[in-house]
Amino acid sequence: MGARILVIEDNPQNLRLMTYLLTSFGHTTTTAVDGQAGLAAARADRFDLVLCDILMPVLDGYEVARVFKADERLQATPIIAVTALAMVGDRERILSAGFDGYISKPIDPQLFVREVDGFLPEALRSR
């Protein structure tokens, strides 16, 4: 069946690659190119998972995660950081900001969908 996944990413190449991989494995994707558009999409529809970049214009991923966890309608939806931030302390800072998990960039096309599936209930994982 696959999951309904919101991908919030400002880099067009990364956005294209992630959505291509996810849809190829049976997931349905909706995209947003900044945090503000991502929050609007999340409030307008229901998603099983949100993948969110950190460094974006308009509203960064940290603020998106904070808003998600403060909003009763959104807080149950897992939000996963997909980011190149990989310095000492970044992972802890990202998780303490409200993200439920972390996938590092550059994404590995061979592993990406399996990593995403790890954050989904078994019934929604790719086949």
Residue 11 tokens read as 């880099």
Q: What percent of the chain has pLDDT over 90?
A: 83
Q: Which residues of 26-50 are buried (b: 16+ CB within 10 A; e: fewer)?
A: ebebbbbbbbbbbbebbeeeebbbb
pLDDT recorded at residue 5: 98
pLDDT confidence of 89, banded at 50, 70, 90?
Answer: confident
Domain map (residue ranges) of the chain? 4-118
Residue pair 44/71 in contact (Cβ under 8 Å)? The answer is no
What average pLDDT score do residues 31-38 get?
97
pLDDT surpassing 90 at residue 127:
no
Fold category of 4-118 in CATH: Rossmann fold (3.40.50)
pLDDT value of position 57: 87
* Nearest residue to 1 (alpha-carbon basis) of 25, 19, 29, 30: 25
pLDDT value at 71 more than 90 = yes
pLDDT exceeds 80 at position 50? yes
